[in-house]
């Protein structure tokens, strides 16, 4: 079964650092991009960026560039999203999803598998 399993909920204080994870299984993790999507409480979906584990090619949304860092360890089929200094506005649900065909456009077939989401709460 193809799936993405994300790390558990986090409660942090402003200024703290955080790294959440997304582990893929049932497919060739290195050959698919992993995307990250934010959903603030009661709001819509925001595309944060994507990373290709095979070569660490990363594309950030300008809205999130410099605010978060995406990384991946293909040896353990895991992608990461990290913050060096959290703020209250980072409180949200974060989803990972897989996709392909970002460069070879003929292979694009949507963000077809999603993780269950990681809730991040930042509060003093």
Partner 1 sequence: DIVMTQSPLSLPVTPGEPASMSCRSSQSLLHRNANNYLDWYLQRPGQSPQLLIYLGSNRASGVPDRFSGSGSGTDFTLKISRVEAEDVGVYFCMQALQTPYTFGQGTKLEIK
Site for partner 1 in 8-27 (CB under 8 A): none
Distance (Å, whole) CA 9 – CA 49: 21
By CB under 8 A, the count of residues binding partner 1 is: 28
Question: In this complex, which beta carbon is closest to partner 1, that of residue 46 or of residue 74?
Answer: 46
Q: How far is CA 34 from CA 3, 23, 63, 124, in A?
A: 12, 10, 18, 31
Is 46 a binder of partner 1 (CB under 8 A)? yes
* Tokens describing residue 31: 């050959």
CB contact at 8 A, 34 and 45: no
Applying the rule CB under 8 A, the residues between 97 and 116 that interact with partner 1 are 97, 99, 102, 105-106, 108-112, 114-116
Nearer to partner 1, 62 or 124 (CB): 62
């Amino acid at each position: 079964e193809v799936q993405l399993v994300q790390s558990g909920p986090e409660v942090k204080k402003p200024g703290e650092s955080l790294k959440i994870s997304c582990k893929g299984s049932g497919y060739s993790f290195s050959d698919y991009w992993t995307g990250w999507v934010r959903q603030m409480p009661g709001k819509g979906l925001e595309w944060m960026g994507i990373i290709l584990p095979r070569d660490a090619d990363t594309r950030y949304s300008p809205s999130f560039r410099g605010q978060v860092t995406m990384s991946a360890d293909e040896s353990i089929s895991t992608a990461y999203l990290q913050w060096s200094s959290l703020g209250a506005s980072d409180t949200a649900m974060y989803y990972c999803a897989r996709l392909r065909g970002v460069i070879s456009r003929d292979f694009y077939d949507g963000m077809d598998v999603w993780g269950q989401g990681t809730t991040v709460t930042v509060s003093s």
